[in-house]
């Protein structure tokens, strides 16, 4: 019996998902405490952190805080989470939601759910400005002698492995800055990267003449939805967040938040509102 108890205790410690309290739903816990505990990833312009002060900002940060105010709930930005640990942070019970809008894809959808999509993130394929090997033919990147920079656990990592499976992956560790993907290419350690347009355009603006979008005429490599992430089966919690978010979309509050950040053109696309009020 002692050995069995010891085994169970060890299993709970080593498997955080099993340590989560299932006696109440996330919705019940939030309503009881009056607080939503947010996990977040540093993913500009959605969530950003001032390296000197630790102050958070960004579209997701502002949007979720406004949603909390409208719901009469406190929003606590509890923990910065690596992209590969988003789901496990919720499964362990450390956070109630991932309050950075992150890429919606099938791999994440196996273990987690998402609030309705409020906006879309375009992605670019980036190379050094003086590198003309792939001009007009991005398929040439899919070779064993080509290195593509990637940050583990991101949707960009999944894109690279899907579109260029024969290329080498220059892998950056969890909690690296996404802009490091550009830096790795810029310094010649890798040949290319796939990255969110906002981050790529910001890098180009601050490092003129060094990097370029390889996609034809600066077109998007692809455009994907981003959304807040929650645990599967939390229907009441999801409904509450959907209603709060939709209010921010339809009143134009989200558009005002986006406009306040003065993003480079082509950084982000909002959902089209099906009507226009006077």
Q: Where residue 215 sits, what CATH number does that domain have?
A: 3.40.190.10
- Tally of CA atoms within 13 A in the half-sphere of 100 that contains its CB: 27
Q: Is residue 264 part of a domain?
A: yes
Q: Which domain holds residue 135?
A: 121-222
> At 122, is the secondary structure helix, strand, or coil?
strand
Residue 276: inside a domain, yes or no? Answer: no
Listed in order, strand segments (DSSP E) in the chain are 35-40, 48-49, 56-57, 74-80, 97-103, 112-114, 119-128, 147-151, 168-172, 192-196, 211-213, 222-231, 269-270
Rg, C-alpha atoms of the chain: 20
pTM score, whole prediction: 0.86
Q: Are residues 10 and 115 in the same domain?
A: yes
In a domain, 40, yes or no: yes
Same domain, 131 and 213: yes
Residues 112 and 134 in one domain: no
Tens place of pLDDT per residue across the chain (278 aa): 444 434 333 444 444 444 455 689 999 999 999 999 999 999 999 999 999 999 999 999 999 999 999 999 999 999 999 998 999 999 999 999 999 999 998 989 999 999 999 899 999 999 999 999 999 899 999 999 999 999 988 999 999 999 999 999 999 987 789 999 999 999 999 999 999 999 999 999 999 999 999 987 778 999 999 999 999 999 999 999 999 999 999 999 999 999 999 999 999 999 887 766 55
Q: Which residues in 9-37 are b (16+ Cβ under 10 Å) and which e?
A: eeeeeeeeeeeeeeeeebbebbbeeebbb
Please tell me whether residues 126 and 112 are part of one structural domain.
no
Report the number of distinct structural domains present in the chain.
2
- Considering only the C-alpha atoms of the chain, give the largest distance between any 2 of them, rounded to a whole number of Å: 72
Please tell me whether residues 150 and 195 are part of one structural domain.
Answer: yes
Q: Nearest to residue 126, comparing CAs of 199, 204, 211?
A: 211
Whether residues 230 and 218 share a domain: the answer is no
């Amino acid at each position: 019996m002692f050995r069995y108890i010891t085994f169970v205790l060890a299993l709970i410690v080593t498997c955080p998902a099993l340590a989560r309290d299932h006696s109440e739903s996330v919705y019940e816990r939030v309503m009881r405490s009056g607080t939503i505990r947010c996990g977040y990833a540093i993913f500009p312009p959605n969530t950003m952190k001032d390296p000197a002060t630790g102050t958070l900002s960004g579209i997701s940060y502002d949007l979720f805080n406004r949603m909390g105010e409208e719901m009469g709930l406190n929003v606590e930005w509890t923990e910065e989470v690596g992209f590969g640990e988003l789901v496990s942070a919720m499964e362990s019970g450390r956070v109630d939601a991932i309050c950075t809008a992150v890429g919606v894809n099938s791999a994440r959808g196996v273990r987690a759910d998402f609030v309705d999509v409020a906006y879309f993130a375009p992605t670019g394929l980036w190379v050094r400005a003086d590198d003309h090997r792939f001009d007009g033919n991005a398929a040439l990147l899919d070779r064993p002698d080509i290195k593509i920079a990637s940050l583990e656990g991101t949707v960009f990592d999944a894109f690279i492995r899907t579109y260029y499976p024969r290329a080498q992956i220059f892998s950056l560790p969890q909690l690296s800055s996404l802009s490091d993907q550009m830096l790795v290419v810029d310094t010649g350690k890798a040949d290319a990267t796939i990255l969110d347009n906002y981050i790529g355009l910001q890098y180009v603006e601050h490092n003129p003449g060094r990097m370029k979008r390889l996609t034809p005429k600066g077109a998007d490599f692809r455009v994907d939805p981003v959304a807040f992430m929650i645990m599967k089966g939390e229907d009441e919690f999801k409904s509450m967040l959907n209603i709060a978010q939709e209010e921010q979309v339809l009143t134009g509050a989200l558009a005002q938040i986006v406009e306040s950040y003065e993003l480079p053109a082509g950084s982000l696309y909002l959902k089209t509102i099906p009507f226009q009020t006077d």
